[in-house]
């Protein structure tokens, strides 16, 4: 049988994914799969095809779904953009990928007694099964790519190592409907058809990879990182890269135009949706997030205990090391993949929410695992020609990474590791443990929920205690900073996991209009978090308030936390006393 070993490995990998959740948690469920971000990705489908309300103008049905299925604690997936319409925050690429499963689920719902509302069990079941089909497609194309460049044995080993030794296993089995496992399939298929295009120059391959790329971009615009592979595949030097660039922009501009037309066709439903929702065909729907291209978070992305890629998936060090033998032995693959590796790290590391929400390790790299598999295979192929010692060292490293990954995946699924609140101290407190104590959990990052309160029984240190008396403020503005601010960059206050601010304000001046005390944390010009409290006069015409503020997860040490006082109608105010105390935890030290 041709390439028998890698076929067996592919089957084993798929079976591992199918039974992965049962292996780790002891159960297999579908309920609750359409939740949190996935609910936002998916919402286009029931809104359009069941409710006929893509602009979400009628809140009744959406509120009913939220009450019945509780996909998230708040409806953060939707923005109010203009009177009479709301906007789904996420682009619709993921909804396009879910569409076949949605159709099947809707058919099952109509044929059974399940509610045909887009969220009942047939939809949940169908989407999860469909996501595993995408995983199989991704592994299939990853195998085809590897067989183009390496032996059947190396391909088989690489597939097994990729699934067993990385966070791909945990995230794909427990969060299979999130964007990254599905992007894994798109990236793999994209790369395969790019290779076929450069081999044959047949337009069917060019059109195919362009369509795949367009869908990937519509799902996650960060798929732009695939550009080095699309443009420079087969280039083996800087001069070849320069020649290829000229080949594209001078000699083959029609191909570029073809790609632009195809991608615009794919993007056109999104542009139409944005136009009717906002009045503009182009709309940026992530107002509080963005890229910090000048100050990327490379150290945090790779090495932090919150989400460091190489902390939780150390096997992926091979994806970097493997570029060395790949560039030397197969530069036509090595050069474009090296460019991609650097470009992808830069783009992933530039997103200012660099931890990318809850996940086991850093989830944003999973999209590119089919591409990283090539450099992992290059390491295996290179070491296979060496002496016993390098083989032994690599074997021990890989087996150690696999053991660590499987055990920590189990820990993650048993709530020993946290998908959001990991710290260095907590990581080592629970390292190797099969159970966790209340004392251990103290070393996790604090839960930043609406019900979180300042627990003064814990060992906090008072680092700032400032009192200002007889503070006269003029030129108050409701949403502006007014004429008074108190605060600084957090690197000048505290870079602890969190800080609590206690604020006490007293004024004896009668308040003729609303006066607000606000504490706010900004990343650059973007607000990360704010909290405000209304000052109201009592029967003696005085106002006293006590206010507590928990700083959010910092995106950068230069993030600013400040407080200010403002008013809708009053132009000036006299504050008798303003006291600010800042506490930082000491138990992480």
pTM above 0.85, yes or no: yes
What pLDDT score does 572 carry?
83
pLDDT at residue 484 is higher than 90: no
Confidence band, pLDDT 50/70/90 cuts, at residue 85: confident
CATH architecture of the domain 460-585 equals Sandwich (2.60)
pLDDT at residue 30 is higher than 80: no
What pLDDT score does 400 carry?
99
Asked if residues 80 and 277 have their Cβ atoms less than 8 Å apart, the reply is no
Asked if residues 471 and 578 have their Cβ atoms less than 8 Å apart, the reply is yes
Asked if residues 479 and 560 have their Cβ atoms less than 8 Å apart, the reply is no
- Averaged pLDDT of the chain: 93
Asked if residues 476 and 545 have their Cβ atoms less than 8 Å apart, the reply is no
What pLDDT score does 483 carry?
58
pLDDT at residue 46 is higher than 60: yes
Report the pLDDT averaged over residues 128-149: 97
User: Helix, strand or coil for residue 313?
Assistant: coil
Alpha-helix runs per DSSP H in 517-577: none
pLDDT in tens, 454-481: 999 999 999 999 999 998 887 776 555 5
Q: What CA dihedral angle connects 336, 341, 346 and 349, to 10 degrees?
A: 160
pLDDT in tens, 277-324: 999 999 998 877 899 999 999 999 999 999 999 999 999 999 999 999
- Longest Cα–Cα distance of the chain, Å, equals 91
User: Helix, strand or coil for residue 430?
Assistant: coil
Interatomic CA distance for residues 540 and 508, integer angstroms: 8
DSSP string, 377-398: HHHHHHHTTS-HHHHHHHHHHH
Give counts: helices (H), strands (E), the chain: 22, 10
Confidence band, pLDDT 50/70/90 cuts, at residue 81: confident
Residues of the chain with CATH 2.60.120.1310: 460-585
pLDDT in tens, 203-253: 999 999 999 999 999 999 999 999 999 999 999 999 999 999 999 999 999
Q: Crossing angle, helix 4-25 and helix 388-413, to 10 degrees?
A: 40
Interatomic CA distance for residues 336 and 317, integer angstroms: 18
Residue with tokens 């033998």: 325
Interatomic CA distance for residues 236 and 327, integer angstroms: 8
What pLDDT score does 516 carry?
85
Report the pLDDT averaged over residues 194-209: 98
Q: What CA dihedral angle connects 551, 556, 562 and 568, to 10 degrees?
A: -90
Asked if residues 515 and 567 have their Cβ atoms less than 8 Å apart, the reply is yes
Report the pLDDT averaged over residues 527-552: 85
DSSP 8-state assignment for residue 432: T
User: Helix, strand or coil for residue 306?
Assistant: coil
- Mind spelling out the 3-state secondary structure of 11-47? HHHHHHHHHHHHHHHCCCCCCCCCCCHHHHHHCHHHH
């Amino acid at each position: 049988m041709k390439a028998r070993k890698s076929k067996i490995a592919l089957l084993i990998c798929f079976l591992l994914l199918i039974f992965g959740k049962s292996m780790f948690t002891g159960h297999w469920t579908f309920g609750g799969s359409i939740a949190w971000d996935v609910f936002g990705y998916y919402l286009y489908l029931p809104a359009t095809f069941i409710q006929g309300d893509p602009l979400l103008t009628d809140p009744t049905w959406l509120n009913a779904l939220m009450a019945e299925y509780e996909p998230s604690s708040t409806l953060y997936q939707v923005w109010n953009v203009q009177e009479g319409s709301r906007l789904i925050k996420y682009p619709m690429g993921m909804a396009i990928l879910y569409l076949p499963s949605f159709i099947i689920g809707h058919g099952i719902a109509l044929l059974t007694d399940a509610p045909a509302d887009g969220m009942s069990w047939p939809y949940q079941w169908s989407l999860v099964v469909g996501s595993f089909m995408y995983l199989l497609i991704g592994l299939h194309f990853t195998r085809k790519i590897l067989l183009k460049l390496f032996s059947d044995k190396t391909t088989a080993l690489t597939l097994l190592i990729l699934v067993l030794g990385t966070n791909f296993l945990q995230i794909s089995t427990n969060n299979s409907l999130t964007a990254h496992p599905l992007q894994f399939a798109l990236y793999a298929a994209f790369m395969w058809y790019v290779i076929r295009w450069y081999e044959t120059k047949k337009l069917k391959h060019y059109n195919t990879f362009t369509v795949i790329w367009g869908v990937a971009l519509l799902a996650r615009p960060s798929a732009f990182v695939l550009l080095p592979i699309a443009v420079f595949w087969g280039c083996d030097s800087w001069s070849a890269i320069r020649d290829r660039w000229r080949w594209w922009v001078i000699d083959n501009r029609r191909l570029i135009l073809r790609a632009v037309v195809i991608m615009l066709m794919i993007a056109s439903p999104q542009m139409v949706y944005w136009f009717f929702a906002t009045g503009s065909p182009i709309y940026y729907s992530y107002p509080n997030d963005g890229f910090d291209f000048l100050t990327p978070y490379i150290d945090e992305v790779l090495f932090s205990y919150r989400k460091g890629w190489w902390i939780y998936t150390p096997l992926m060090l091979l994806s970097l090391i493997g570029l060395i033998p790949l560039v030397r032995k197969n530069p036509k693959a090595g050069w474009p993949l090296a460019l991609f590796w650097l470009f992808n790290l830069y783009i992933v590391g530039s997103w200012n929410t660099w931890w990318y929400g809850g996940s086991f390790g850093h989830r944003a790299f999973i999209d590119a695992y089919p591409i990283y598999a090539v450099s992992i295979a290059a390491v295996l192929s290179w070491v296979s020609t060496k002496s016993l010692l390098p083989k032994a060292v690599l074997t021990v490293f890989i087996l150690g990474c696999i053991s660590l990954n499987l055990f920590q995946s189990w820990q993650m699924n048993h709530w020993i590791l946290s998908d959001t609140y990991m710290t260095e101290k907590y990581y080592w407190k629970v390292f190797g443990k099969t159970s966790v104590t209340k004392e251990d959990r103290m070393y996790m990052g604090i839960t930043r929920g609406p019900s979180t309160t300042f627990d003064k029984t814990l060992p906090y240190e008072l680092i700032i205690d400032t009192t200002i008396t007889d503070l006269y403020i003029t030129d108050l503005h409701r949403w502006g900073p007014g004429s008074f601010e108190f605060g600084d960059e957090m690197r000048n206050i505290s870079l602890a996991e969190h800080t609590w601010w206690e604020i006490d304000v007293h004024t004896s001046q009668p308040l003729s209009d609303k006066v607000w005390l606000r504490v706010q944390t900004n990343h650059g010009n973007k607000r990360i978090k704010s909290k405000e409290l209304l000052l109201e006069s009592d029967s003696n015409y005085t106002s006293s308030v006590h206010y507590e503020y928990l700083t959010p997860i910092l995106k950068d040490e230069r993030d600013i936390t400040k407080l200010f006082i403002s008013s809708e109608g009053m132009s000036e105010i006299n504050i008798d006393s303003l006291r600010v105390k800042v506490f930082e935890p000491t138990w992480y030290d």
